[in-house]
Amino acid sequence: MKTGFIAILNMGSERVVADLAVSTLEQNPDEFRSLLDLCFLEQYPLSMRAARALQLYCEKHPESIYPYIEEVVLKILKSRIDGVKRNFLKIFAEYIDIEQISDPGPLLNACFDWLQDPRQKPALRIHAMNLIHKLGKKEPELLHELHVTLEMIDESSEISIRNYARKMLRKLSRQSAACPEERSDEGSAVGNK
């Protein structure tokens, strides 16, 4: 079946092609592993297209990634293809129960690195920001660190990053105002914004 996915994905990067791969996977859910393997071949654009199809599939079937989640975390940390990292960060930030990742520390560190790196594409940085925020719901001190990091985003960053960072800062401030017990005695930067 892997060759079937390759043939489909080699048709192009259009949404209709990704949807065809998703439809094929929905008809053959046991082939999830085959599509996952294509994501980590490190062959551009094939791996990026496979990751996009997998992201769309996980939007409907997030439980499918759970048996592979630890492996996926390790592999996205090593991937050189932005589209692969971006699509998996979106899966983690939007579709899955983040507590399924036994040790999110390395992924969290990578997300902070990507968020602060102006050479990264805006979508990757935004998904990293969203994943940090999601993890911060369980560990509120991360929200303070996210707040400080977002304040360091300067005017040389793309406008999409600056705008999204401002929106996230407002969200963090509202959350802090709604939960004053999370602030320290001196007040945190999040609480004082």
**Which band of pLDDT confidence, cut at 50, 70 and 90, is reported for residue 48?**
very high
- How far is the C-alpha of 31 from the C-alpha of 29, rounded, in Å? 5
Q: Is the pLDDT of residue 188 over 80?
A: no
Q: Is the pLDDT of residue 58 over 60?
A: yes
- How far is the C-alpha of 119 from the C-alpha of 138, rounded, in Å? 29
Tell me the whole-structure pTM to 2 decimals: 0.87
Q: Mind listing the pLDDT tens digit for each residue in 72-106? A: 999 999 999 999 999 999 999 999 999 999 999 99
Q: Is the pLDDT of residue 183 over 50?
A: no
Supply the pLDDT for residue 192: 38
Distances (CA, A) of 97 to 134, 139, 192: 10, 15, 30
The domain segmentation of the chain, as residue ranges, is 103-193
